[in-house]
């Protein structure tokens, strides 16, 4: 039965592709199994609290500097502060343990009091090395490991995973499981915003931030997730006395924003292997003269494509989106920054927010001024590909109504949950694939060879 439906799918895609020659790209004919998108039960295995008094939980790591020689380790202890130290050693060091000192923070949200949230940056790591690390004290110590990236350089292969809008439903668990089992083996994950969806619950029930932290620990304790801020991180609720935006998120998730001269944790950049990754903030000011605008204006000319050929931008609210959900919400930011992306030949922009999947052609819409009427996206070989990967599987369900007919710029779209992989081979080629949850975890529902815009700017369109 499975293979029959798969053949139907392939046949459907061929048909749609023929049509696509005269009208945009393809809208997948895949019909997903209807299933309820509900949060996993509080006593689910994924939310289990590790046993022991004051034992560290919700362990997560992210890159801790600009080049990949530092890691920020974060975790929570519930009973007392305990220790904010991380003990770590490289695989080759005969277990001589080094110690990094961190600190802890707490916060209150309505009637919720957080545990002790520890953040500790480990610095001066060797590239391309496996490290073990330990948090906690005495008999409640827990041990994990990570592998540092290779030294930044133009032809370093590296595989990034992509998940957005994850939440903590049964679908979220399937998305994460498929990512973990994907044979392409993601080495770091670009998380495109909207983490726990705590704010969908009464009083933004912050216990949901804790359960989410325990749910994703099985991946993010072992490989860095690169964080982007989404709208579900705002937690702005003056009606219950919570008027400091981003309070839970900024206490729980630290990013190395100062290393890229950013002045706030919502926009920053890192270099990792052969990629220069710019994270932008859809929910912080980006108009002319604002700190984010000023930062990006200075950041883009600093990107050295000889060192990092791949220029990747992550932001939450998509600029090109042909779903009937959040339609044009990203438009004002597109107007501000799109000319810069074309000028600096950004390779790809990943967004989330819309709970579905979509990949664009290389297009731009920058000719317009208030009198000339030139306001349509046009094919542009210097423009990025825009990918919406907000299909992690959260409690709000899928976005399944689309703007018809499919706009020319939209190459492929499908309302299914899933994840993606961006597999950099060298300075000219990267292989990209999207994996829907209904398939086996190795099946590619959509894929594309990316040709680097700086080193190999030839047409890499998949529909023309
Ligand atoms: C940890 O050690 C203390 C003191 O030795 C003991 O009372 C406690 O039961 C131990 N906890 C666990 C989880 O082993
Ligand atoms: C917070 O307040 C809500 C609404 O009154 C209540 O249901 C919940 O149990 C409270 N939680 C705590 C931790 O007190
Ligand atoms: C989540 O996925 C993991 C790995 O596939 C599985 O072991 C676990 O039972 C799942 N939990 C729930 C609640 O679905
Ligand atoms: C760009 O990076 C290359 C390789 O690391 C280096 O040789 C070159 O000096 C850098 N260019 C600038 C302008 O910093
Ligand atoms: C507006 O666009 C037209 C046509 O491209 C061009 O001639 C004109 O100079 C533009 N005006 C401004 C203020 O850029
Ligand atoms: C870059 O990778 C692509 C895809 O694997 C390969 O075809 C190409 O030959 C590689 N280029 C170089 C210079 O190795
Ligand atoms: Fe969102």
- Measured from the Cα of 139, ligand 1's closest atom is 1
pTM: 0.94
The DSSP letter of residue 203 is G
Grade residue 464 by pLDDT with cuts at 50, 70 and 90.
low
Q: Distance, CA 375 to ligand 5 centroid (Å)?
A: 12
Q: Is 201 a catalytic residue?
A: no
Whole-number average pLDDT of the chain: 93
Q: What are the φ/ψ torsions at residue 159 (nearest 5 degrees)?
A: -115, 120
Q: Atom 6 in ligand 5: which residue has the minimum CA distance?
A: 372
* Cα 126 to Cα 148: distance, rounded to the nearest angstrom: 7
CA distances from 46 to 11, 198, 201, 220 (A): 38, 16, 19, 13
User: pLDDT tens, 165-186?
Assistant: 999 999 999 999 999 999 999 9
- Measured from the Cα of 369, ligand 5's closest atom is 1
Q: Is 76 helix (H, G, I), strand (E, B) or coil?
A: strand
Grade residue 128 by pLDDT with cuts at 50, 70 and 90.
very high
pLDDT beyond 60 at 13: no
**What is the structure's pLDDT at 10?**
38
Check if 44 has its Cβ closer than 6 Å to any atom of ligand 6: no
Residue 298 class from Cβ within 10 Å (0-12 exposed, 13-18 middle, 19+ buried)?
exposed
Assess contact for 103 and 308: CB atoms under 8 A: no
User: pLDDT tens, 28-71?
Assistant: 887 776 666 899 999 999 999 999 999 999 999 999 999 999 99
Q: What are the φ/ψ torsions at residue 447 (nearest 5 degrees)?
A: -155, 165
Q: Distance, CA 428 to ligand 6 centroid (Å)?
A: 7
* Cα 125 to Cα 222: distance, rounded to the nearest angstrom: 15
Q: Distance, CA 453 to ligand 6 centroid (Å)?
A: 15
What residues line ligand 4, using a CB cutoff of 6 Å? 304, 306-307
Q: Atom 10 in ligand 1: which residue has the minimum CA distance?
A: 139
* Cα 379 to Cα 390: distance, rounded to the nearest angstrom: 24
The DSSP letter of residue 308 is -
Question: Please, what sign has the CA dihedral across residues 248, 228, 296, 373?
Answer: negative
Assess contact for 206 and 48: CB atoms under 8 A: no
Q: What angle is formed at CA 176 by the lines to CA 174 and CA 177, rounded to 5 degrees?
A: 60
**What is the structure's pLDDT at 441?**
87
Beta-strand relationship, 108-109 and 130-135: unpaired
DSSP 36-59: ---BPPTTSGGGPPPSSTT--EEE
Q: What are the φ/ψ torsions at residue 430 (nearest 5 degrees)?
A: -140, 140
* Cα 319 to Cα 153: distance, rounded to the nearest angstrom: 30
Grade residue 8 by pLDDT with cuts at 50, 70 and 90.
very low
Q: Choose, from 60, 326, 344, 435, the residue flagged as catalytic.
A: 326
User: pLDDT tens, 260-301?
Assistant: 999 999 999 999 999 999 999 999 999 999 999 999 999 999
Question: Please, what sign has the CA dihedral across residues 33, 34, 39, 45?
Answer: negative
Check if 50 has its Cβ closer than 6 Å to any atom of ligand 1: no
């Amino acid at each position: 039965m499975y293979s029959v439906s798969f053949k139907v799918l392939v046949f459907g895609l061929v048909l749609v592709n023929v049509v696509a020659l005269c009208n945009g790209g393809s809208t997948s004919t895949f019909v997903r199994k209807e299933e309820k998108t509900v949060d996993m039960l509080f006593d689910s295995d994924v939310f289990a609290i590790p046993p022991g008094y004051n034992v560290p939980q919700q362990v997560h790591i992210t890159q801790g500097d600009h080049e990949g020689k530092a890691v920020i380790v974060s975790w929570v202890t519930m009973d007392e502060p305990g220790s904010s130290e991380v003990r770590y050693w490289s695989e080759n060091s005969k277990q001589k343990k080094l110690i990094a000192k961190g600190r802890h923070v707490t916060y209150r949200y309505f009637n919720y009091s957080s545990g002790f949230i520890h953040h500790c940056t480990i610095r001066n790591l060797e590239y391309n090395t496996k490290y073990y690390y330990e948090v906690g004290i005495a008999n409640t110590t827990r041990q994990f490991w990570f592998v540092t990236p290779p030294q930044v350089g133009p032809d370093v292969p590296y595989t990034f995973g992509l998940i957005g809008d994850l939440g903590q439903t049964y679908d979220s668990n399937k998305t994460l499981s498929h990512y973990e089992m994907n044979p392409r083996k993601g080495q770091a994950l670009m998380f495109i915003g909207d983490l726990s969806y705590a704010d969908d619950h009464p009083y933004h029930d912050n216990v949901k931030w804790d359960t989410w932290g325990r749910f994703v620990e099985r991946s993010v304790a072992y490989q860095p997730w690169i964080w982007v801020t989404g709208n579900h991180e705002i937690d702005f609720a003056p009606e219950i006395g919570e008027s400091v935006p981003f309070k839970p998120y900024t206490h729980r998730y630290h990013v190395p924003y100062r290393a890229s001269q950013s002045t706030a944790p919502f926009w920053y950049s890192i270099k990792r292997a052969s990629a220069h990754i710019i994270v932008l903030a859809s929910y912080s000011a980006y108009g002319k003269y604002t700190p984010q605008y000023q930062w990006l204006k200075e950041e883009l000319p600093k990107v050295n494509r000889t060192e990092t050929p791949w220029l990747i931008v992550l932001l939450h609210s998509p600029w090109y989106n042909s779903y009937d959900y959040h339609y044009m919400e990203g438009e004002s930011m597109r107007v501000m920054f799109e000319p810069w992306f074309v000028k600096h030949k950004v390779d790809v922009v990943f967004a989330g927010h819309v709970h579905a999947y979509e990949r664009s052609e290389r297009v731009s819409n920058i000719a317009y001024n208030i009198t000339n009427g030139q306001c349509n996206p046009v094919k542009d070989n210097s423009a990025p590909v825009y990918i919406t990967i907000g299909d992690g599987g959260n409690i709000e369900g899928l976005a399944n109504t689309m703007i018809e007919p499919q706009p020319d710029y939209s190459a492929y779209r499908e309302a299914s949950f899933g994840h993606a992989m961006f597999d950099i081979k060298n300075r000219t080629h990267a292989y990209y694939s999207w994996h829907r949850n209904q398939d086996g975890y190795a099946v590619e529902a959509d894929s594309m060879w990316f040709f680097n815009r700086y080193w190999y700017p030839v047409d890499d369109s998949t529909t023309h």
